[in-house]
Structure 1
């Protein structure tokens, strides 16, 4: 599947807002430390570190803070600082991390916030998703409740470079996997088994003859909103040929995939529209709704495809 990898709409929004460069860090994340990227990547200067060290975070954890600093704030490369660690569950690579954040521009003006207008809705990202860049570095090894600052320079419409600073707060951590009521599948379909992390494997029944029609079998019924064909989804998925050969899996990359239902094979669009967020769905897709007689990559022409899809978010 040609799916754009991402942690979901939230991760994309964060990355777009910051224009992160994906610097990585080798040092630890002790309280009040500033990340130091590897030698072959952009490294914050002493002036960058000092600029972010001068940002004062005012307000109690659990509610929107105020950032106070001497304007205009400026850094030359993305720069992070762990303000404080939390005391909750540990954050691990590949985990779903729910973040609150507030943005300020270089002049100290508040730009936006997940706390704004009483919405108070955190956004989910995947720790380790490359789209998050330096956010991964500063949150690695921390715990729920952690607060971190991220400053990032970007070119404005007038060509001038300006810095945005963001305070992140980790609201919760969990797993990216379907959750809901188990559904007993129809007889004769591939049997799906989940490992401890939720990754599926399948057993193909002896003599299995796939239908010429699309087969859509919910395995877990989620309690979320019903998906429409016009939406984009964040999912975990694995795909196999009918001989049991796996050809793709987001689970192996440890990062869910995000895509528009208007930009995938028809079997996905037809099979996932009408399902609910939180569900896990078995799809058996005939070639006519897959890659046809031409095939794609390791998928031969005329192949029936089997997918198990966890619907994690819809937007």
Structure 2
């Protein structure tokens, strides 16, 4: 998932993040946030996703006709008659793997190539970027892939045709490159508390570490990235070249929650090279185990809104609370 805050294959796989309304005014938020005259952004559990529609016979026929060539371990050539249309997510196992079996909670590393259904042009390739994607099998962001991959083996190549977030049809060829058994890891930041500067959004933590953010009344829009450690961990410093595993919550300046790993029930792992600049610049240099408050101006988030930039968060200044749980080579 790229963090322009959520992309990568998670976005291709149609992970849906609902906008969650948050309290404003003098209300007191659940989870320990004190009464405030500002806007309170509280993480709420994500709603159960609706079942994906079943593919039609025409969908299955269209995906069966897609040609995939090339050996496992190398970027495949994917070709089909354009424009390709499907009415529902449609899958086909191109090659069955011969390696270790994939189980829920495993850390799965995949390579993938994404092809535009409209004209057959390549939209993305981890083989070209040399940045395979790793996620926990069962992570709700990968809801379309989880059931298809559990029980498969390393080396499996899975073809998927589905509707992307921009409503275009995309063809994705996923190859399972590696799997690692789940290991015990921290679920929240742990370290020395840091007293934040006055006037910043306030953060209250529930017993499990889940944050509630209160935006002060009259808080001015940021012109520069604000990076405020709230907890300083004792781990190694994070670099821009690493993949980080984080718990995070994000909200708008009006207190609206738009994204949260807490609500999905699992941390997220992503290369810092694939996130919004506010994350890359704000998390690099912090220590593993730390919790960081980021106030990100639109220019370092999704950019200003324009005819070309129609992202739903374009033009928005964003607030994040990020727990850095792990950092390793991308």
CA radius of gyration, larger in:
1
When the two structures are superposed, what TM-score results if normalisation uses the length of structure 2?
A: 0.47
